[in-house]
Amino acid sequence: MSEPNITPGSKVYQLFNYETVVVEGKEERFIITIKKEPLPSSDSGPRAECG
30 CB burial (10 A radius; 0-12, 13-18, 19+): exposed
Amino acid in position 20 = T
- Nearest alpha-carbon partner for 22 in 42, 7, 35, 36: 7
pTM of the model: 0.50
Q: Tell me: the pLDDT tens digits for 24-47?
A: 888 998 888 989 888 888 665 565
Hey, where are the domains in the chain?
A: 1-36
Rg value, the chain, Cα: 18
Question: Alpha helix locations (H) across 1-51?
Answer: none
Q: Tell me: the pLDDT tens digits for 12-28?
A: 777 788 889 888 888 99
User: How many C-alpha atoms does 21 have within 13 Å on its Cβ side?
Assistant: 18
